[in-house]
Amino acid sequence: MSNISTPFSVAAIQYNPKLNRRNANIRELKKYVREAAEKGAKLIVTPEMATTGYHYLDRSAISSYVDTIPGLTTAQFAEIAKEYNTYIVIGMAEVDLETGLYYNSSALVGPNGYIGKYRKIHQWVVENYWSCWGDIGCPVYETDIGNIAMIICQDSTYFESARLAAVNGADILCFPTNSSSASISMLQHWAEMNGLYIVSANRSDKEEDFNMVGLSSVWSPYGKKLAEAPMTIDEKDPAPYILEGSIDPAQFENPAKSRMLERRMESYKELMLFLGPWDYTKNTHARNIKAASIQYEPEIGSKEVNLAKVKQLVREKVEEDVNLIVLPELSVIGPMELQKKQDIEPYAETDDGPTVQEMKKLAREVGAYIVFGFAEKELPHFYNSALFISPEGEVIGKHRKIHLDHWDERWATPGKRIMVTPVNGFGRVGMMIGYDATFPEVAGVLAVKRADMICIPASWTGDYGVELSMNQDVFPKPYPKGTVSTWDAVAKGAQSYTIVSNFVGSKYGFKGRSAIYNLDQNYTNDQTVIASSDQEEVLVNAFQTMKTDWWLDQENLILTRRTAYYKPLVTREPPFL
């Protein structure tokens, strides 16, 4: 719990240690930490393995440079913390004296000395040769400046890491890293989605042919970039850099923290499953998909007008070889601000009602799979639902919106199940609806169930998500203008191609940006495409599922999840509630 009510300064030390020179690295690192403290920083974060460098071949290679936590290293930085009344996070190699095991760790010290540590849960291949997987979960430490958690580098590839910090009550997430761009590219997403300040400290040099790009950063709980260090690529002996930012404790309470009240943990239990190499349900063949997202302005409440518009756009704008079409949430009525449950009655229908019959006809006519949203009636309940229809005109999948928002909370019953529909010769298709996307657990379950693609009918007015603002020079191909963090997080977090369909205009001001998201912006064999914010259009993109020629795909994601530490995501309400 923070005892400070006014904004305070923080610093990330962009520092480049040398291999096999721990004592010299510590002396030099202390100099920059002290400089940041003298400038008034109340929290100072250093990079991953900041005292030793990163590349060690095996346990014997690093054995001379590990230290206990607490130990000599933490004691030296604790002196600075005490002198300047500040908090310091040190990335370091740890030895556990009791077991003799080594860990890639970070330690937190403050004005009163050692506070706590974190051991990296999700490791990259390099440290696997000497380091054990972290075994203490994601602890959160109460300090005078707020509740602090730590994760390290590769951890950010997995939504669970930052989510654990948030669920465990963190206000600030410290992120030591040695990143070439992948791990730092997700920080804005996780800051906004979890309501966390994130302070990231990266290196900016080259070690053993591995380039680290700098771009240390500070992100707000609203996903706003508060500070970003320079990017460095192939620069010889780049100088250390002290990045300064500011944290406002008034923002520790924010919309994302409020959303924690709406988590539906009974629907997330499958996050705890480890479906490793013996998962016989997964797809084993890549499929060529050409998807279309239909974006239009709805006539609120008019099934006839909206259905006619959908048919016209599909018939006139959808190319013949498109095999998947996605429509917005509540496709033919649009979201409505109703006052009570009974008000939806005139618009709702069963899953074999007239609108469903029209969509079946359309699917047969164009020979494509169609995902569309409707108000489902299954008395005594109504649901905000989406159906998945085959080219033969059969309903083969259904999703009932799990997380309700202001559009539907007065009339809809929440759904309970997160499901994937397997289709022979096409792939495994998952669905979520609108506001569901703000809960990363949904995409996580779809990944566990091996969704090759995720369809999101949406009715988005800009009330969640932010446009990505990380330095785009780090990517071989920049993100398109209008990329929304929430939907990109679904695709990247689940390693599943994600097709979003949204409305534009109307009295509610829908903001479009329908999209088809790829799996990694560094992967140049496919692309993310984004529609406009205000025009009716059909957005088309072709991709091949099951990207297997890259360092990360869904298979590798699943095989490297650490489910033993995810239990708080499915069992625990955040302490601040």
For the question of residue 120 being annotated catalytic, the response is yes
Antiparallel, parallel or unpaired: β 197-201 and 172-176: parallel
For the question of residue 117 being annotated catalytic, the response is no
Q: What share of the chain is helix, strand, coil (3-state, %, to 5)?
A: 25, 25, 45
Question: What amino acid occupies position 85?
Answer: N
- From the candidates 42, 120, 206, 257, which is the catalytic residue? 120
Q: Give the containing element (helix H, strand E) for 91.
A: strand 87-95
In sequence order, which residues have a C-beta less than 8 Å from that of residue 463 and are 6 or more positions away?
Answer: none
For the question of residue 138 being annotated catalytic, the response is no
- From the candidates 42, 48, 117, 138, which is the catalytic residue? 48
Listing DSSP states for 426-472 in one string gives TEEEEE--GGGGGSHHHHHHHHHTT-SEEEEE----SSS--B--S-G
Say whether 486 sits in a helix, a strand or coil: helix
Alpha helices by DSSP H, listed for 109-173, are 125-128, 159-167
The maximal CA–CA distance of the chain, rounded, in angstroms, is 75
Cβ(291)–Cβ(327) under 8 Å? Answer: no
Listing DSSP states for 109-127 in one string gives EETTEEEEEEE-SS--HHH
In sequence order, which residues have a C-beta less than 8 Å from that of residue 292 and are 6 or more positions away?
Answer: 314, 317, 318, 319, 322, 324, 325, 326, 368, 538, 539, 540
- From the candidates 94, 127, 138, 153, which is the catalytic residue? 153
Whole-number Å distance between alpha carbons of 319 and 216:
44
Antiparallel, parallel or unpaired: β 515-517 and 497-501: antiparallel
Give phi and psi for 326, each to the nearest 5.
Answer: -120, 135
Whole-number Å distance between alpha carbons of 375 and 356:
11
Which sequence positions are flagged as catalytic?
Answer: 48, 120, 153
